[in-house]
Amino acid sequence: MVKSKSKKQDSHLGVKSGGIKFQKEKGQHILKNPLVINTMIEKAGVKNTDVVLEIGAGTGNLTVKLLERAKKVCAFEIDPRMIAELQKRVHNSLILVSGGTVNLVSQLGVAFDPVSGLNAQEVV
């Protein structure tokens, strides 16, 4: 008997959540657990005076929490769908850069404190 693929195994279509299909083959995943997010921020020692660099902000689950804690967040995201979702969710204290990070970080002229690369697809 031949098994048919389930919809979950069809990874080329991505994973749908909130209307966005995530491209797992490109390393896209969404951090949803608030306990994990809060623990990451605690372990990173993010302070209200910090300027945080986040690489691969996705839909902004971590970004939103970082903005509550840090002075400012500079988030990089290459997926236009994720950027649109992120722009809906956050409006203040966020520098949102569309595109990759290679060579761009040094051009910003900003000193960063903690750096989050949870969803990073490039090496800085």
pLDDT at 6 over 60: no
Q: Please give the sequence-ordered ranges of beta strands (E in DSSP) within 66-120, or none if there are none.
A: 72-77, 94-98, 115-116
Is residue 56 marked as binding? Answer: yes
Whole-prediction pTM value?
0.66
On average, the pLDDT of the chain sits at 73
Only one residue has tokens 């290459």, namely: 78
Is residue 42 marked as binding? Answer: no
Which pLDDT band holds residue 9 (cuts at 50, 70, 90)?
A: very low
Domains of the chain: 26-116 (3.40.50.150)
Q: 58-67: per-residue pLDDT in tens?
A: 889 999 999 9
pLDDT at 120 over 60: no
Is residue 85 marked as binding? Answer: no
11 phi/psi in degrees, rounded to 5: -70, -20
Q: 40-53: per-residue pLDDT in tens?
A: 999 889 999 988 88
Is residue 53 marked as binding? Answer: no
